[in-house]
Amino acid sequence: MKNRPAVFYRDLNNVPPTIVRGEGCYIEDSAGRRYLDASANAGVVAVGHGRTEIARALAEAGDRVTFVYNATFTHPWQEELARAILGIAPSNMAGVYFVSGGSEANESAWKLARQYHVERGKASKYKSISRWQSYHGVTLATLSLSGRPSWRNLYAPLLLPVTHIAPPYEYRCAYCRSSGGCTLQCADDLERAILQEGPETVAAFFAEPVVGTSATGLVPHPEYYGCVREICDKYDVLFVADEVLCGYGRTGMPFAISAWNVEPDIITLGKALASGYAPLAAMVVSEKVREVFAQGTGRFVHGLTYSGTPSACFVGLQVFEIMQRENLFTRPAEVGAILMGMLNQLAGRHAVIGDIRGRGLLVGIEFVADRRTREPFPERVGFTSRVVKALRDRDVLVAAGVAQSNLGGHGDHIQLSPPFVVSNAEIEVLIAALDTSLSEVESQTGVKE
């Protein structure tokens, strides 16, 4: 009992190493081991680890930081950060609602969408539609949205009914296969689902503009979100862009959806927003939605104790300033291009690399047993976990992608998502480690190079 950890860890059989410090792209554990964090620890740490100026600024502001509950008071930092976010957001965005994490942001968005329709006299609209190979959070409502069977199955009896449509997954898409490229049938699938559910019942469609660990780096066809926007408008469905992972600079622009020149109705943010220096996420609301509330009851029937917490907003402001000063909202585009170039060269040496995809510093590598047929490794090989472990043995951290649900649990990929401050030299370290790790796993699993 005495030596047992007091924390109820995610995996009671595997208590993780204790991290005692961080600097830039490196973290160090209590045994003095240093890791290159090419995962940004779940894609969170945008401005790099150990930015002491954030802590110093918070300490200096300390005597002014006090907690106030959002329903009764506001404070300058919340308003300043909201204004800063709107300043870089798509031009139709008109208000920011702060929360503490991505799941809360998406759950708030579904509820906001529901109330939006009620405010307009369309009380029959309440359902949401999302995609397979997606992740929107772990609360019951957001897990219901998430198209990730391995996380859903245990809780299936508790989940809300959500229709999931085909993901824009060109490498594995049956439609694309038979047509020699994307025909946008995955976007048409949204219209089919809305009609099937009954347009009078559908409130919102949720999608990650560039997909995260459920199939990292899926970048849909240049016309995909234009089609989504049209379909949503046609059936009076709100389009929610989940940018919790891909937003706030990760794809090389402040908002990932801007690459499609499409304006969503709601955008959710998290992770990079406070870069891990505070639990902070947000729901960014368009003028269209805001106006309906303004003309209606004016009151969103929702609220979280820690919504807009002063210290978290203060930290968010410090992160915003660093991001502006160091051009981190766009830097991932340049470094991501270098990373992509090196990965494409690496693919020449490792036939297990089936697909390399992504944008900016959100990059997925899918591994296959046969590059020609795209046949995945059987689940029992555990290819992804072997690669992640081999890299970790070389002190490099990457995120394991979740097995592909459309392949019955087979299918392997990893996610590379380093902090936005990653240097070219650190990318070289990552590529060298990936090269030797893949050779090691290939020989363990009997794959010929």
Find the shortest distance in angstroms from Cβ 251 to ligand PLP: 12
Q: Give the N- to C-terminal CA distance of the chain in Å, as an integer.
A: 49
Q: What token pair was written down for 299? A: 């009151």
Query: Which one of 6-14, 99-107, 115-123, 343-351 is the stretch in contact with ligand PLP (CB under 6 A)?
Result: 99-107
Instruction: Please tell me whether residue 168 binds ligand PLP under the rule CB under 6 A.
Output: no
Using CB under 6 A, pick the residue from 245, 322, 361, 402 that binds ligand PLP: 245
Nearer to ligand PLP, 283 or 339 (CB): 283
Exposure of 13 by Cβ count < 10 A (0-12 exposed, 13-18 middle, 19+ buried)? exposed
Count residues contacting ligand PLP (CB under 6 A)?
15
Query: From CA 437, how far away is CA 423, in angstroms rounded?
Result: 21
Alpha-carbon gap, residue 176 to 189, rounded angstroms:
13
Residue 327 neighbours by CB distance under 10 Å: 11
The maximal CA–CA distance of the chain, rounded, in angstroms, is: 66
E strand or H helix at 148? none
Smaller CB distance to ligand PLP: residue 128 or 437? 128
CB of 276 to ligand PLP, least distance (A): 11
Query: Pick from 24, 270, 310, 418: which binds ligand PLP (CB under 6 A)?
Result: 270
Site string for ligand PLP, 36-75 (x = CB under 6 A): ------x---------------------------------
When asked if residue 137 is in the footprint of ligand PLP (CB under 6 A), the reply is: yes
CB of 79 to ligand PLP, least distance (A): 23
Single out the segment in contact with ligand PLP by CB under 6 A; choices: 95-103, 175-183, 225-233, 430-438.
Answer: 95-103
CA-closest candidate to residue 237, choices 283, 200, 211, 196: 200
**What is the C-alpha separation between 406 and 298, in angstroms, rounded?**
43
Q: Which residues pair with 413 in a beta bridge?
A: 366
Task: Using the structure block, give the residue that is written with the tokens 């070219």.
Answer: 424
CA distances from 230 to 89, 202, 206, 207, 378 (A): 21, 15, 15, 15, 39
Is 246 in contact with 15 (CB distance < 8 Å)? no
Among 119, 242, 366, 442, the residue binding ligand PLP under the rule CB under 6 A is 242
Question: What is the 8-class DSSP label of residue 163?
Answer: E
- Site membership for ligand PLP, residue 135 (CB under 6 A): yes
Question: Which region among 9-17, 217-225, 237-245, 329-337 touches ligand PLP (by CB under 6 A)?
Answer: 237-245
Please state the closest distance from residue 257 (CB atom) to ligand PLP, in A. Answer: 13
Determine if 107 is a binding residue for ligand PLP (CB under 6 A). no
Which stretches does DSSP call E strand in 337-395? 353-359, 362-367
Instruction: Tell me how far, at minimum, the Cβ of 138 lies from ligand PLP, in Å.
Output: 6
Rule CB under 6 A: say whether 244 interacts with ligand PLP.
Answer: yes
Binding site for ligand PLP (CB under 6 A): 42, 101-103, 106, 135-137, 208, 212, 242, 244-245, 270, 281
